Every structure is written in C-alpha cells, then in structure tokens.
Amino acid sequence: MKSVKPILLFILIASFGAADAIAQSGGYAGSFSRMGFSARGMAMGNAMTAVHHEGSYAYYNPAMAAIPTETIQLDFSTAALRFDRQLHMVTANIQLPPSAGLSISLLNARVGNIDGRTSSGYHTGMLSVNEFQLIGNFAIRFSERIWAGVGIKYNLANYHTELPNSQNIGIDAGFRFALTNRLTFAVAIKDLLSEYRFDSSDLFGQNAGSVNVYSFPLRLITGTAYEVSDAWLLSFDAEFRFQSSDVLRADTTIRTMDGFPPMVRTEEISQTTFFRAGSRYSLHERVTIRAGFEFYDAGGENQLQPTAGFSLHLPYDRFSPSIDYAFVREPSQFSSMHVFSIRLHI
C-alpha cells in the first residue's frame, strides 16, 4: 500500500489545479440543504450515498440510519463563511434494537446584515433571512447486506417579518446493498414534495400580492463505496437532479395591435448531472485524511469543485471524541468555506 499516499496526494493536486471554473446550479429553493453535511462528508466531495464506514450520515441516505452501533453518535458542525453567512448542522443517531435505527438532524442557514432600502434608495433597516430543515430518518436492516430507510423532513423559511413563514413536509428514501464485504451499492431519492410557499398579500396588499410556490429540485442519487484496505476507502456518486422553473417567453404566434407579442408563462423542467468522488485514508489511529471533488454540468459548461480535510481522533475513552475539518471551494471561486465538526459517542 505504499502507493496509497501518492495517489491521495495526486487527487488533491489535480482537484485544486483543475478548478479553473467553479460554478453551481443555483437559483432553486432550499439550496443550503444541498451543500452537504458535516466536515467528513464535505471533505469527501459529498460522495457519501453508499458510505457507512464514517459512521451514520443518514442525511445522504436514510438507509444509513440502520448502522449498528453500541453508542449514540452525535455530530456538531459549523461552517466559516464570508459575507455574513452562517451554516450550522447537528445530528444524532440512535439504535432501535434489534435491527433498526433512528437519525435526527437539524440544518440552519442564515444571512444577516442585509441593507434594506426602498426603491428610491432610502435605508429602511437591517434585514436577515433564516432557513431550517429538520430531518427524521428511520431505517431497518433486513439482513447484514440489505438496509432500507425513509426520511421525513420539515422545511421552514423565514425571509421577511411581514411575509408569513413557509412551512412544508418533504420525503426522502434510500436503499443500501452490500455486494461483497468491501463493495457497497446504494440508491437514494431526495426532496419529494419539498417546496417553499409564500403568500405576499400581507406585504404588498390583496391586489398586488400573490401566492408563489418554489419547488425543491428532485434528486436521484446512486453511489458505490469500496474498501481497498482497512485503511483506504474510495466512494463514487452520480446524481441526476431535476428542477422546474417558470419562464416568461414571447408568443410570436399571436399578433397584437401594438406589434409586441404577448408574454406567456410556461413551466420548464431541466436536469443537472453531478459526479462525485471521495477518498479516505487512515494515516494513524489518531489521524485520518480525506479528499474529493464534485464534477457537474451547469448551463452546458463542465465544472469541478475540489474538497479536502482531516480528522483528529482524540485519545480519550470517554465519548471517543473526534475533531473534523473540511476545506471547500465555493462556486465561482469568490470564496472558500471552512467546515469544523465535533463527533461524540455517548
């Protein structure tokens, strides 16, 4: 296994060197909930759908809530971001004997210090927006090889004091199958029925206000994970993301008196494909390093987003604590994200 370290180093160098154009399919509801979860997952490029070796991350696949463990796994994460943005994550995984598991996760994204102004440019005050997602995942081990799970997520968005909060229930589902002792395959479908719904009648009045619905993209993800050795893990994901948009187009088939064609609102469905890869290598019983990347098409252009990180496993028997870190390049290279996590076993 002498070639393991050079290969992992090559992944790091190639990922950072090739990231000359980083962008992300954005503009759709709930984007914060698709950024990834915890430093361990983000450091591996979010290629975690089939990974059970890093502990329970049912955020990526509800079936992973069934991971057998003798303790309650707790993860606390926060991300250091620029431009007054905040991202926080917490999860707890609890076993339900003899063959089931429950995972509870909470995500929060916040943007503060927004300079509110009128259409004339006068300052009105400082604004902030908050988004929350509470996820409950339940899974069963039908055998040592086959696990399946379902997740219920509560989505809440608070955008303005005079705009009623959007509240919605979404559904996730996942399946995991161990092909061999070292090779695992998994499938997950995410954000079924998830959406934001805003009624702006109180803000703009009955005549000008309206009810607007913004659906989360529907996500179909397949993944594989392969243990090259007890110390080295490789993982790969492919995601097919379907998003709907309201588009205004000129209807040239209709002639009007003023010569301008009328604008017609239509719904369009688009697809974005994501490929993710991740690697984890245990340098020492106290040190683990990770690297990965996400490759996807955005507006017809191929983009690459690299990630890297490490874990320090502290020498304490009580709670078996670990400190995790991930470095993530943000879209368009305008900033970088630093993710910090603490894991405890109680």
Give the pLDDT band (50/70/90) at residue 12. Answer: very low
Report the CATH number that the domain containing residue 66 is assigned in CATH: 2.40.160.60
Question: What are the distances in angstroms from CA 131 to CA 100, 199, 204?
Answer: 30, 17, 22
The domain in which residue 79 lies consists of: 4-294
Domain annotation covers residue 302: no
Total domains, the chain = 1
**What average pLDDT does the segment 15-44 reach?**
70
Domain annotation covers residue 332: no
Would you say 241 and 274 are in contact if contact means Cβ atoms under 8 Å apart? Answer: yes
Domain annotation covers residue 89: yes
Domain annotation covers residue 169: yes
Contacts for 94 with CB less than 8 Å, ≥ 6 apart:
72, 101, 102, 103, 104
Domain annotation covers residue 329: no
| Strand residues in the chain grouped as ranges (E) | 73-80, 85-96, 100-117, 123-141, 146-158, 166-178, 183-192, 195-199, 211-215, 218-227, 232-250, 263-284, 287-298, 301-313, 322-329, 336-345
Domain annotation covers residue 308: no
Domain annotation covers residue 346: no
What's the pLDDT tens digit per position in 252-301?
667 666 666 777 767 778 888 999 999 999 999 999 999 999 988 765 56
Give the pLDDT band (50/70/90) at residue 16. Answer: very low
Phi, psi of 209 (to 5 degrees): -75, 165
Domain annotation covers residue 261: yes
What's the pLDDT tens digit per position in 34-46?
999 999 999 999 9
Round the CA-based radius of gyration of the chain to a whole number and report it.
22
